[in-house]
Amino acid sequence: MCGAPAFPDREGVIEVKQLTKRYGRARAVDDLSFTVQPGHVTGFLGPNGAGKSTTMRLILGLDTPTSGEALVNGRRYATLGRPLHEVGALLDANALHPTRSAYNHLLWMARSNGIDPVRVAEVLEQVGLAGVARKKAGGFSLGMKQRLGIAAALLGDPGVLLFDEPVNGLDPDGVRWIRDLMRSLAAEGRTVLLSSHLMSEMALTADRIVIVGRGRLIVETSVKDLTERYDSLESAYLALTAGSVEYGAAR
Amino acid sequence: MIASEWLKLRSVSSTRYAIGAAALVIVLGAVWSFYVGTLADARGSIRAAAPEEGFLPLVQISLALVGVLAVTAEYGTGTIRPSLTAVPRRRALLAAKATVVAAATTLPALAVIFITHAVSHLIAGDRAVGYNAGSFGDDLPLLLGSVLSVTVLALVGLGLGVVTRSTAAAVGSVVGLLFVLPGIAPYLPQPWNVRVGAWMLPNLVPQIAGERISTRLDGLLPPAAAVAVLAGYALVALVAAFLVFERRDA
Amino acid sequence: MNVLAAEWLKIRSIRSNHLILAISLGAILLAVAVAMSAIAMYDSAPASMRAGARIAELEEVVLIVPQLAMGIMGVLAITSEYATGLIRTSFALVPGRRPVLAAKSVVVGGLGLVVGPVVVFATYAVSWWMLESRYPVAGFADRLPTLVTSSLTVAVYALLGLGLGAVLRSAAGAIAILVGLVYVIPMIVGNLPEPWSERLGSVMLGALPREITGEDLTSSVYGALLSPFAAAVALVLYAAVPLGSGLLLIRGRDV
Ligand SMILES: Nc1ncnc2c1ncn2[C@@H]1O[C@H](COP(=O)(O)OP(=O)(O)O)[C@@H](O)[C@H]1O
Ligand SMILES: [Mg+2]
């Protein structure tokens, strides 16, 4: 990393502040505020269309907020010089060029952020794709693509990690592997924001929970708190989101 | 199945843009006719090209895109798999696509070309502007040949789209057939310029009407043969598509 | 520099780009084929007709192949990222975004600067070696200025394609407009009555190389009204306007 962090007390913190994003008249994210701290896995939950992916795109500076802001390490993502060293993200495992090899896919990413190519081999090993590194990514199963996306997120050894539904398409071994990986990344003191639909899996992986519905915050708390108030995370989720399971963003 | 393919094609916004671009020819044709008319007023008479012929390449390339995108858009987004699951009989699926593409391009082409023709004649009135020298009956073979060329190009686009599965490759090949090869043929030494040029897709349209290909190139094929060659382009592309589509993994 | 290395790797690690390069260089083979047919035709012609035998410049005939192929490479360099969703990764890695497009321009334009001269000069060599004993072939020194300017157009096409792709984000749309600019519009312009045919024909992309060298264009559909300097500026603008628009638009758009 380049020099001392600008905001030592906000190192590793994701701050979402009154964030609103409209597409036309639809509000995908609506005055949303929450904070994600390092050292935990924070589960990001909500029904389909609740605005989870949009929030992640806003954090990564890919979409421009209608109002409000999102900060990582106390700064707007767009102001980061070589962002892979600070933030790693998996948004869509299918975002690959079908005829490019897994190795070259990671290598161009490494090049663009001045990362030692040695890291490419390391992360491929770490996600279990070393054996197919020279194969075209287009031929991978969804589970293998998810692993490649995770490898990409880990490439710069970042302190902050965002994963949008990384468990989709993984076999039981893979699901277990992700759970252990997320927990170990958090145990190393990193910030992990993880969205998923699999409630039982989230109960085993996450320490903290942010639930959104129709773009708004429903609850921001610990898994322990929810499982104490309801008999399981799943019933907590179903009770809390009961009013907001409606497809299409709030108008 | 034809209904579902029609719905798919109609719901792709690029289809509407492409047909819109083709329809632009009516407007361009009107502007052209007004302009030519003022020139005729000033000079007495003038020999101007008919707008539906001059702007034909715009209709051809726009509607060929409809054919290409009818299939490459599905490969691009991965919806080809659900399509094939919904209709496991691939021949039937492709036949439905071909029917819909043919209809969805022939009708707009027919409308655009005949409306442009009518509008340009209305605007020209009884001034001698060149393109209104003959009767409607004289012009008819050229008009119908133009329409047919659009249908054929759309089907060729569809076939190339199936074979290449890539928008860029299919559009590139259509452009090759429509512009690049016909552009190279006249430079071949005689008599090859005529022998090769006569078989080029866009050059078949004037031969259907029994006209010279261009000021530089004579025709070679009689009208009936030109129609057959034109249809042959579509046939070859579609046969290749059927063969490839049936054997390949989605 | 990092971004440039990344974009270079991206371009060279995709199969379709190898195919596009092969097609571009295949133009040289096309020239050989045309030359062979010209030789066959010359040798079978009666001696009385041989003296007057003429043939078009092979470079001018086949140049359209690398021009279009590299134009499509430019288009795909950016639209394929939009189509696959990879553009989000690219922009997340380089939040400033403009360096991504700038680096793509350097890579694609650079390839055009290599491919164009290779095809043009190799094709001239083909016509010299194969045709010179039978047909009149202009000497190298006479042809050199036009060979140079024509060969540069390949890079212009590549950058034009990239710029259109960046603005439109769709391969079909960008290729359609590219084709419209280089084929459909010149055809229509060629049919216009004078003086518009001459005026507009002078600013068509295809007219510019020979306007720059001041060559005779009377037998073509193009006009020749621009001075060499103005034609050079116009050639640069064909690449710069779409790319500039792309650079302006790319920053603020949601992806
Ligand atoms: N680019 C976009 N244009 C228009 N609407 C969008 C766009 N992206 C997301 N939306 C809408 O915003 C809402 C939230 O979507 P998303 O963030 O993907 O939800 P989630 O990831 O929680 O399922 C949905 O209603 C979706 O249709
Ligand atoms: Mg989502």
CB contact under 8 A, C91 and A61: yes
Q: How far away, in angstroms, is A51 Cα from ligand 1 center? A: 6
Q: Given this model, what pLDDT does residue A244 score? A: 73
- Taking the CA of residue C220 as centre, how many other CA atoms within 13 Å lie in the half-sphere pointing to its CB? 20
Q: Which residue of B has its CA nearest to C182?
A: B179
Question: C183 and B179: CB-CB below 8 Å?
Answer: yes
Sequence-distant (≥ 6) Cβ neighbours of residue B99 within 8 angstroms:
B2, B5
Q: Which segments of chain B have a pLDDT < 50? A: none
- CB contact under 8 Å between C188 and B36, yes or no, is no
> Chain C: residue nearest B188 by CA?
C34
Per the structure, the complete domain to which residue B198 belongs is given by 2-247
pLDDT digits 0-9 by tens, C79-118: 999 999 999 999 999 999 999 999 999 999 999 999 999 9
Do B197 and B213 contact (CB within 8 A), yes or no?
yes
Is A249's pLDDT higher than 50? no
Q: What average pLDDT score do residues A183-192 get? A: 97
Looking at the DSSP bridge assignments, the partners of residue A209 are A43, A221
Residue B249 Cα to chain centre, angstroms: 30
| Helix axis angle, B13-43 to B56-77, nearest 10° | 170
> In chain A, what percentage of residues exceed pLDDT 90?
77
User: pLDDT-derived band of residue A248, with 50, 70 and 90 as boundaries?
Assistant: very low
Helix (H) or strand (E) holding C15: helix C15-44
DSSP strand pairing (A216-222 vs A208-213): antiparallel
How far, in Å, are A52, A146, A155, A208, A251 from residue A175 at the CA level?
Answer: 20, 11, 21, 19, 36
pLDDT of residue A218: 94
Give me the helices (H) in chain B, please.
Answer: 2-11, 13-43, 51-54, 56-77, 80-86, 90-124, 136-164, 167-175, 181-184, 192-197, 204-208, 223-247
C39 touches chain B (CB under 8 A): no
Is the CB of B192 less than 8 angstroms away from the CB of C188? no
- Whether A112 and C254 lie within 8 Å, measured CB to CB: no
Is the minimum CB–CB distance between C140 and chain B shorter than 8 Å?
no
**Per-residue DSSP letter, B189:** P
Q: Supply φ then ψ for residue B220, to 5 degrees.
A: -135, -40
Q: Give the start-to-end residue ranges of the domains of chain C.
A: 2-250
- pLDDT at position B42, please? 84
Edge to edge, what strands does the sheet with A191-195 contain? A87-90, A160-164, A191-195, A41-45, A208-213, A216-222
B140 touches B102 (CB < 8 A): no
pTM assigned to the model: 0.90
pLDDT at C230 over 70: yes
Domain count within chain B: 1
Sign of CA dihedral C234, C26, C131, B179: negative
A210 pLDDT more than 80: yes
| Model confidence at A250: pLDDT above 60 | no
Residues of chain A numbered 43-72 and touching chain C (CB < 8 Å): 57, 60-64
Residue C249's pLDDT band (cuts 50, 70, 90): very high
Sheet holding A26-36, edge to edge: A26-36, A14-23, A67-72
Q: Which domains does chain A have, with CATH numbers?
A: 11-86+159-240 (3.40.50.300), 96-157 (no CATH)
- Position C244, amino acid: G
| Region C185-198 average pLDDT | 81
> Which residue's CA is the nearest one to ligand 1's atom 12?
A28
- What would the pLDDT profile of A85-124 be if each residue is shown by its tens digit? 999 999 999 999 999 999 999 999 999 999 999 999 999 9
User: In what helix (H) or strand (E) does residue A26 lie, and over which residues does it extend?
Assistant: strand A26-36
Contact criterion met (CB below 8 Å) for C230 and C215: no
The dihedrals phi and psi of A35, each to the nearest 5 degrees, come to: -130, 140
Among A100-109, A135-144, A177-186, B88-97, the least confident range: B88-97
Cis preceding-peptide flag for C195 (omega within 30 of 0):
yes
- The pocket around ligand 1, CB under 6 angstroms, is made up of A 23, 26, 28, 46, 48-54, 248-249
Instruction: Tell me which ligand sits closest to the C-alpha of residue A28.
Output: 1
Q: Out of B21, B55, B166, name the one closest to residue C188 (CB).
A: B55
Mean pLDDT in chain C?
Answer: 91
